[in-house]
Amino acid sequence: MGAGPPAQGGTEGARDGARPLLSVRGLGIRFKTAQGIWQATRRIDFDIAPGERVGIVGESGCGKTITGLSILRLLPGNFAGLDGKILFDGTDFASCSARQMRAIRGKRIAMIFQEPMSALDPVFTVGHQIAETLRVHTDVSYEEARAKTLEMLRRVGIASPERRIDDYPHQLSGGMRQRVMIAASLICGPQLLIADEPTTALDVTVQAQILELLRDISETSKTALMLITHDLGVVAETCTRMITMYAGEVIEDATVDEALVRPLHPYTSGLLRSLPHLSPRHGRLPSIPGRVPSIAEMPAGCRFRARCTHATKGCEAEQKLLDAGGGRRVRCWRFAELNLPGALHPPSAPAAAKVATQ
C-alpha cells in the first residue's frame, strides 16, 4: 500500500495542534422505553479541532443522530439520562442550563438535518426564518438582518436571492431548501456545524453541489464540520477524518485516507469491502454476516463479536478505545496483529493501475 502519497496535508495539524474546539468524553445516552431503560450510546470519545471536517459513519441505528443531538442537548421526550462531558471551547454542555443551551444553539453550534422541509416553517418566508435566527442572537436591526440574509443566500448559491428571499419553503426545490437551511445555520457564524445526512434526500448531481458548498464554507469561514452520514463516499469527498460507530460506540477514529487504505477495526474493513465500487464488476460482493445486535440485548464484551471473523478467546472482554499511534484510535484489542484489507484490497484492476502509475 506504499504506492500512494501519505495522508492529506493538514489533517495531522488538526489533531496535534491547538486545543480542540469540541471534546466529547464518555458520552452516553439512555432512553426510557416500555421494555425498561435502554442505553442507546455509550463511552463516546472524540475531539474536533477548530475548522476540522469530521465524518461520523455507521449503519442505521448505530447512534450517529443521537450523538449529534446530544451534543446540542436536543434529546427526545423519553430521554432518561446523559453521562460524560461535552466540552465546547472550555464549557461543559452536560452541566449547562436549558437557557444557556438556547443561547449557544444556532449561534455557536448549528445543526442541519436530512429533511430540510421539516426543519423549515411552512408559514414564514425563507428570508424571515433566516433573519429571525440572527435577530434572536444579536441586536441587529431589521434592515441589517435582511441585508445579511441576502448576502448569506447569495453565499450559499441561491441565484437572484432578492427574488427568493420572500418565497415560502414549498416554492423551493429540495436542493434550494437545503441551501436555505445551510444559510440559516451559518448566519450567526457558528464555530461548529453538525450536518445530519444533509444530502441523503437529494439527487447525486445536487448532492455534489451541496457537498462542494459545505467544503468551501468550512474552508473559507473556518467553520468546523461534523458530517453524519452512512455514505463512505460522501465522507471521502468532504472530510479529513472519519469516526466509525457501531452499536452505540465509537469503534475507530482515523484520517479518511488511513481508514480507507488500512482500516484497523474488522467492522470498518468489512464495510469498505462490501461497497460495490470496490469489487470487480459482476463478482460476488463480500458482506458482513449477521446483523447489528438490538439495544435491548447488547452482548457483553466486543459488540461486534458475533459477526467478526477474527473473534477469538479474549474478545468477550470489554473493549476499550485503544491508542493505535499517530492519533488513531480503535476499539479492538487485536488491531496490531490483524492485517485487514481496506478499500484497495484486493486491488481491483483499474484502481491498482492508477496507483501504480503515480
Partner 1 sequence: MTAAAAEPHREPIVSVRDLQVRFQTSDRRATVKAVDGVNFDVRRGETFGIIGESGSGKTTIGRALVFLLNPSAGAILHDGIDPLALSRRAFQNHRRDYQIIFQDPNAALNPRMTILASVLEPLELARVGNSAERERQAREALERVGLPQEFGERYPHQLSGGQKQRVVIARALTLKPKLIVCDEVVAALDMSIRGDVLNLFADLQRDLGLTYVFITHDLAVVSHISERVAVMYLGQFVELGPTEEVAERPLHPYTIALLSAEPRPLPSSMRQDSRIVLQGEVPSPIDPPSGCRFRTRCPHAQPLCTDRVPEWRELKPDHWVACHFADRPNFSPNAQPETTP
Shortest CB 90 distance to partner 1, Å: 33
Cα→Cα distances 36→33, 98, 206, 247, 250, Å:
5, 26, 43, 18, 24
Chosen residue from 20, 28, 55, 63 binding ligand ATP by CB under 6 A: 63
Q: Is residue 223 within the footprint of Mg ion (CB under 5 A)?
A: no
Distance CA(336)–CA(315), nearest Å, equals 14
Chosen residue from 270, 302, 308, 328 binding partner 1 by CB under 8 A: 270
Helix (H) or strand (E) holding 30: strand 22-33
Chosen residue from 16, 34, 60, 284 binding ligand ATP by CB under 6 A: 60
Angle at 154 between CA 150 and CA 157, to 5 degrees: 145
Query: Cell digits for 106?
Result: 444556532
Q: Is residue 101 within the footprint of partner 1 (CB under 8 A)?
A: no
For the beta sheet containing 192-196, the strands, ordered from the edge strand earlier in sequence to the opposite edge, are: 109-112, 192-196, 224-228, 53-57, 241-246, 249-255, 328-330, 322-325
- By CB under 8 A, the count of residues binding partner 1 is 59
**Binds 261: which of partner 1, Mg ion, ligand SF4, none (CB < 5-8 Å by kind):** partner 1
Shortest CB 154 distance to ligand ATP, Å: 32
Phi and psi (nearest 5°) for 32? -85, 130
Task: Considering only the stretches 80-88, 107-115, 148-156, 206-214, report the one whose residues sit in contact with partner 1 under the rule CB under 8 A.
Answer: 206-214
For the beta sheet containing 36-48, the strands, ordered from the edge strand earlier in sequence to the opposite edge, are: 36-48, 22-33, 79-88, 91-92
The owner of cell 477469538 is 312
Shortest CB 262 distance to partner 1, Å: 10
Of 1 and 317, nearer to partner 1 (C-beta) is 1
Please say whether the beta carbons of 127 and 88 come within 8 A.
no
Interactions with partner 1, residue window 44-83 (CB under 8 A):
59-60
Contact pattern from residue 107 through residue 136 relative to ligand ATP, giving x for each residue in contact according to CB under 6 A and a dash for the rest? ------------------------------
**Binds 305: which of ligand ATP, Mg ion, ligand SF4, none (CB < 5-8 Å by kind):** ligand SF4
- Tell me if the bond preceding 190 is cis, omega within 30° of 0: no
Please say whether the beta carbons of 237 and 277 come within 8 A.
no
Task: Considering only the stretches 13-21, 85-93, 140-148, 350-358, report the one whose residues sit in contact with partner 1 under the rule CB under 8 A.
Answer: 350-358
Numbers of helices and strands, H then E, in the chain: 13, 12
Interactions with ligand SF4, residue window 294-353 (CB under 6 A):
302, 304-305, 308, 310-311, 315, 319, 332-334
Cα→Cα distances 272→57, 121, 261, 289, 310, Å:
12, 39, 9, 14, 16
Q: Is residue 33 within the footprint of partner 1 (CB under 8 A)?
A: no
Interactions with Mg ion, residue window 62-91 (CB under 5 A):
65
List interacting residues with partner 1 (CB under 8 A): 4-5, 7-8, 59-60, 173-176, 203-209, 211-212, 230-237, 256-257, 260-261, 270-272, 274-282, 284-288, 291-292, 343-344, 348-351, 354-355, 358
